[in-house]
Amino acid sequence: MRAVQIDKCVSMPGDTLRPTMLPRWTSRPSVPSKTPTRDPACSSCETPVTSWYKHNPFASHLLVGEIISINESVHAPIDLIFAQGRLALRPARASSKGPRPAIVFERARPIHPIGQQPLPPTTALLLTTYKKIHSSKLLPALLKDYFAVPVSPHCEVETCEFHLHVHPEWQEDNVWLIAYPITSFGAVHGRWSYVNRRGEAQKDLSFKIGDKALTMLSITCNERMQRWIRRCKEVQNHAQRCMDVYEVRMQLHRINSVLRLPTDIQR
């Protein structure tokens, strides 16, 4: 839903409409609603998956499409993207390494070391709330225009170009997928557990992405990267500008969200 702007007429007691000289309320910065929306053209929006995903408790591998819990920074994929834009990496940023949810991508990963081999890294796509930034308007351009994909339920499902459904539906609103796979050496703590109504994590229940959605996701990741590279070639300093804005936005949001507290509390 788009925010509706209301013009306020000012009237005084004992006064019928006085077409005033008073300044009118024009564009107050609108805070987009965080209520999840639906895409009428999407069958998964129409009929969300409600059945549980019961993983095999004796599986040797975390399967492609399963959602795991991994210790990794949200900046890791972004650094790789900038590296592709031929920008030198910035020194490591202080940031939370999770654990956060991630989708196992491209190859299954053994759960236990096989023989004497050390555990291989995990190829994964990270999920994040970006400290509860629910609106893409508040994300830096690199994420908003290229690499942030809404995960249903999400307030931008209706308006975005591509959104993702998890089986069963994800249990937190307004989560973003960072559409750039990384190979992470971060610790993996098994699958992301489904939480029941009493708030208890269910060891045997977790989440996965269907095969069709996985294919769409691969295509989307490639498209978004190509789009960004193309733009970097067209617009001088685009990569550098994206990086500068990313740095500033990601560090400032904490202050911003404190200032926005009165609106952000209404959940």
**45 touches Zn ion (CB under 5 A):** yes
**175 touches Zn ion (CB under 5 A):** no
Using the rule CB under 5 A, which residue among 44, 123, 206, 220 binds Zn ion?
Answer: 44
Of 6 and 41, CB closest to Zn ion: 41
- In degrees and rounded to multiples of 5, residue 139 shows phi and psi of -90, 150
From residue 162, alpha-carbon distances to 21, 82, 166, 169, 205 in Å are 46, 23, 14, 16, 27
Q: How far is the CB of 175 from Zn ion (least distance, A)?
A: 13
The position carrying tokens 């609108």 is 30
H-run or E-run covering 194: strand 194-195
- Contact map string, positions 14 to 43, toward Zn ion, x by CB under 5 A: -------------------------x--x-
Residues 6+ apart with CB under 8 A from 172: 129
Task: Report the b/e string of 187-200 with b at 16+ CB within 10 A.
Answer: ebeebbbbeeeeee
Residues 79-98 binding Zn ion (CB under 5 A) are: none
Q: How many residues bind Zn ion (CB under 5 A)?
A: 4
Q: How far is the CB of 174 from Zn ion (least distance, A)?
A: 9
Of 231 and 260, CB closest to Zn ion: 260
- DSSP-assigned letter for residue 127: E
Q: How far is the CB of 98 from Zn ion (least distance, A)?
A: 20
Interface positions with Zn ion (CB under 5 A) = 39, 42, 44-45
